[in-house]
A and B are shown apart, each in its own frame.
Chain A
């Protein structure tokens, strides 16, 4: 039992960590991953053969310069900000960040409701396809002067609606047929990808194209690149939209009756039901909300990045899972977590071009950073389920650990608006 106690104590320490401690922990994790990754780069560089070693220390030489690689990884992501604050590299970083904010939020909402939505990818595909087809279909009927005002919101709305509907399917299956949402969402990812492929290749493919893709959406519907120059595929509007969604979602979760329902069902479904929450309805609505967020991500991908629907959809939905875990499933944390992903994405392209390091090795470095940063958060999530910091379970908790009800952090931020009486009125 002593080993178990040690582990429990460590978990309890982790769970009780303040946000400052968690931030320090993340920074320490990045530093450690850089040291470990640097050693890997150095050693693989020693094994590789090259004409001119890039790095030497006390005799042995290495083909890859571990310090240079990391300098490139982070510098390559922001570019020459002082010389040109709106440079292309920074635009790429922010573009990736903006896209991942949507999928990260999508996964986070479901997680908070106690649902593991692995299906953000599929919901994103559904939303993206709906957006592209709607905009292509509607464009001829919209007068040119109103193009952007009508088509962009219409596209985003259709993305949200279809993503939401596609997310509601596993929600309904979970609520009314008790089907495990992890399994159904994974499977629905494949369904979405293959159906989209079939529809586009058979009915909506662009003439003369060798790829499976639709025609390009009309210029009026494109979210134009702003500030960062044409072709950067990054619109500040989208970034603002993402931040607004973050704020809106935070408000929804923390300050509304629905958010209270959602969170309590996530913490302990039985207690929530006892408290008057309709569990089935909450499952369906939270999955639909999660799907809608992913669908907006898909719409943004179509309107801002791809300019059309192509069958090769990047794995934004899967990255969203990691983003959400990094963020501790907190909407506010999604922004920095997505930013880390954006930096790594943009930086690793720079490393590939500027240094001789093969892309596979760059992938390892990226993976290491994410792994090291995610692990403390991951253990914290597990820990929250197991241990209760500073308090032993008492009889009134039903003999179960009180983990279920509220962690201290949330208890503090509990708004007056979610008094039991009021939630019942609202229902």
Chain B
């Protein structure tokens, strides 16, 4: 009797504790655990590069004038007082990434490439911050802006979710230069960069629409020419990502009026499991090509494509390079040159021509966004398809094709 009731109580407590743990896991933070491997390696990359960055900058200081590192530190403190820092031999950049974090092989890694290029070509040093939740954005922005050793010459804020934080922080630090990707903050010390993602998405949509009716069999996948269904997997269902969807749907319709586009949102940029689930159900329902705009969750889409023997289209980076283990299913990627935006803004600050208060919009013209064929599968795409896509690109640039920015149907 006693043992029985003891056991019942124990089970009740243990069960509740287990469920509590489970509930914790299903909240935002827990979803990251599924991509431990990815982000783990990404984190290490970040650590390596930042030390490499410091190394590079120390050598720059050593070359220009043989000062000890303590001297360099005082110099950093001086720049904090508001003296012009662009001409200083050492330039510090603070990087605040979007929530998917480094190792997403997509958006954030692209921004990271931009700053790494600046390390090599301009000789800057940089520091990474990877926020876990939206309320961390203003915290990091402020930390970087307040920091005096080192003082940051430019703070790069990556991602639309930083807009509300930056709107509040930027006016408080009028001498601090900021750059923002994927959003606009109208302050004289913020250089905003936005992209015409709908145009690039139209291009890959056009590609998907043309290929879904053709017989293509290369790499680890093949199309299903009888079924004219393609798919789109988004991250968080926000206006920015809907722009990707709108462009993609328009592109598919441009190629083939009959084709159906299945749409799903994972609700997170850091949940490969959800990405895989969405893609598998699309492939099961006859889709042969799935385009993702889901940051780190997109890795799940590639896994699904490989398992089902179908194709996928990457986003933000050339994902057949950045996730080369999936190169045999990645037909193309809608590349968004976040790296160029980051690099250009750093270069501008280095040249004392910071374009604060301006909004730079990068579209197909100038290759701010572009459709890049996969390294492994690009050669398997028929020449006439490539020509049609090159043509539609010209027509979009010329303004003959209007690409919508909002999905048509509810």
Contact = CB atoms under 8 A, between A and B. Distances in A.
Interface string A226-262: 0000110100000000000000000000000000000
A121 B27 contact: yes
B36 A209 contact: no
A307 B47 contact: no
A73 B161 CA distance: 27
A96 to B, nearest CB: 9
A349 B140 contact: yes
Given A118-B23, A210-B240, A356 B6 contact: no
Nearest to A386: B6
B367 interface: no
B67 interface: no
A186 to B, nearest CB: 5
22 contacts: A48-B44, A48-B48, A50-B47, A88-B142, A88-B143, A116-B20, A121-B27, A183-B19, A186-B23, A210-B160, A210-B240, A211-B238, A231-B168, A305-B135, A310-B134, A315-B27, A318-B24, A318-B27, A352-B130, A353-B144, A359-B132, A385-B13
A403 to B, nearest CB: 9
Interface residues of B, number: 63
Interface in A273-324: 305-308, 310-312, 314-315, 318, 321
B43 A361 contact: yes
B9 A386 contact: yes
B6 to A, nearest CB: 6
Interface in B350-368: none
A360 B36 CA distance: 8
A92 interface: yes
B163 A211 contact: yes
Interface stretch (B50-58, B277-285, B338-346): B50-58
Nearest to B16: A116
- How would you classify the secondary structure of chain B's contact residues: helix, strand, loop or mixed? helix
Contact of A209 (B134, B163, B182): B163
Given A48-B48, A182-B16, A210-B238, A318 B23 contact: yes
A311 B138 CA distance: 16
A400 interface: yes
B130 A52 contact: no
Interface in B1-46: 1-2, 5-6, 9-10, 13, 15-17, 19-20, 22-24, 26-29, 32, 36, 39-40, 43-44, 46
A425 interface: no
Interface string A211-229: 1110010000000000000
Given A52-B55, A382-B10, A314 B47 contact: no
Interface string B114-144: 0000000000000101101111101110111
B143 A349 contact: yes
Nearest to B128: A352
Given A211-B238, A312-B161, A353-B143, A386 B39 contact: no
Contact of A92 (B6, B10, B139, B160): B139
Interface residues on A, range: 35 or more
A51 interface: yes
B146 interface: yes
Contact of A356 (B16, B19, B51): B51
B394 interface: no
A165 interface: no
A400 B3 CA distance: 10
Contacts of A359: 43, 101, 130, 132
Given A118-B20, A358-B44, A381-B13, A210 B182 contact: yes
A105 interface: no
A203 to B, nearest CB: 14
A34 B279 CA distance: 43
Contacts of A233: 138
B288 to A, nearest CB: 30
A353 B44 contact: no
B135 to A, nearest CB: 5
A209 B166 CA distance: 13
A50 B52 CA distance: 8
Interface centre among B48, B129, B139, B142 (most CB of A within 10 A): B139
B314 interface: no
A308 B134 contact: no
B1 A399 contact: yes
B23 A201 contact: no
B164 interface: yes
A88 B164 CA distance: 19
Given A210-B183, A211-B160, A231 B172 contact: yes
A121 B163 CA distance: 25
B59 to A, nearest CB: 11
A54 B201 CA distance: 45
B238 A50 contact: no
- Which 6 pairs across A and B sit closest by C-beta, in order of nearness? A358-B43, A210-B160, A312-B134, A315-B27, A210-B240, A116-B16
B21 to A, nearest CB: 9
B406 interface: no
B72 interface: no
Nearest to A229: B172
A146 B134 CA distance: 32
Contacts of B168: 231, 307
A304 to B, nearest CB: 11
Interface in B152-201: 160-161, 163-164, 168-169, 172, 182-183
Given A356-B50, A358-B46, A385-B9, A189 B23 contact: yes
Contacts of B9: 385-386
A305 B232 CA distance: 35
B239 interface: yes
A88 B146 contact: yes
Interface string A83-119: 0000010001000000000000000000000001010
A49 interface: yes
A235 B50 CA distance: 36
Nearest to A319: B24
Contacts of A197: 237
Contacts of A401: 2
Nearest to B140: A349
Interface centre among A211, A311, A315, A399 (most CB of B within 10 A): A211
